Copies of this chain bind each other. A is one copy, B any other.
Amino acid sequence: MPDSIVFYHNPRSRAAIVHWMLEEVGADYTVHPINFEKGDHKKPAFLAVNPMGKIPTIVVDGTVITEAPAIIAWLADAYPTAALAPAVGSLQRGSYYRWLFFGGSCIEPALADQLFARPQPDRKGALGWGSYNDVIDTIESALRPGPTCLARTSVPPISMSARN
C-alpha cells in the first residue's frame, strides 16, 4: 500500500476513468483539482509533474504515473484484493494487455481520423494504427462470442442462458 497518492483531476477528462478505478480498488488518495478554464494544466507547477500538461496524472510516493491505462494497470496490480487483473504470466493477462493497449494505440487515433475526416497520407489508406473500419471489425469480432469474451479471445462462445 502506498503512503500517498495525489490524483490530478478534472471530471471532464480521461481522469474520470482513473477516479472510477481509485474507488474500485478502495485506494486512499488526495484530489488535486485541475481547472481547465484557468489553464492549470499548462502552468509551470503542473508541467513540472507532467510535461504533457495532461490529466489523468497521479503521483504515488513521489513517482509520477501518467496515461490512463498505465495508471489503471498499476492500481490493479497494487491493490490485488480488488481482483481486477488476471494473474501475471497467465494467458488471460495477454488478452488483458492486448485490449488495454488497443484502446490508446488503435481505437483513439483511428476514431479521431474518422471523426474529423482527417486525410490519410499513407498510400495504403491507413496510418500505422489501422483504419476505423478495421478497428470496428476487430472489436465486433472479439465481442461476438459474448460480453465477457475480451477476457480471452480463444474462449468458446458463451450461451447467455448458461450465464444466468
Q: Using CB atoms and an 8 Å cutoff, list the residues of chain A in contact with chain B.
A: 2, 14, 50-54, 60-67, 69-71, 73-74, 77-78, 80, 88-89, 91-95, 97-98, 100-102, 104-106, 108-109, 112, 116, 118-119, 121, 127-130, 134-135, 137-138, 141-142, 152-154
Query: Is B51 within 8 A of A154, CB to CB?
Result: no
Q: A65-B98, A67-B98, A73-B97 are in contact. List 19 more A-B contacts (CB 8 A).
A: A60-B94, A61-B91, A63-B91, A63-B95, A64-B153, A67-B102, A70-B98, A70-B100, A71-B94, A74-B93, A77-B89, A77-B93, A78-B89, A104-B105, A105-B108, A109-B112, A112-B121, A112-B128, A118-B119
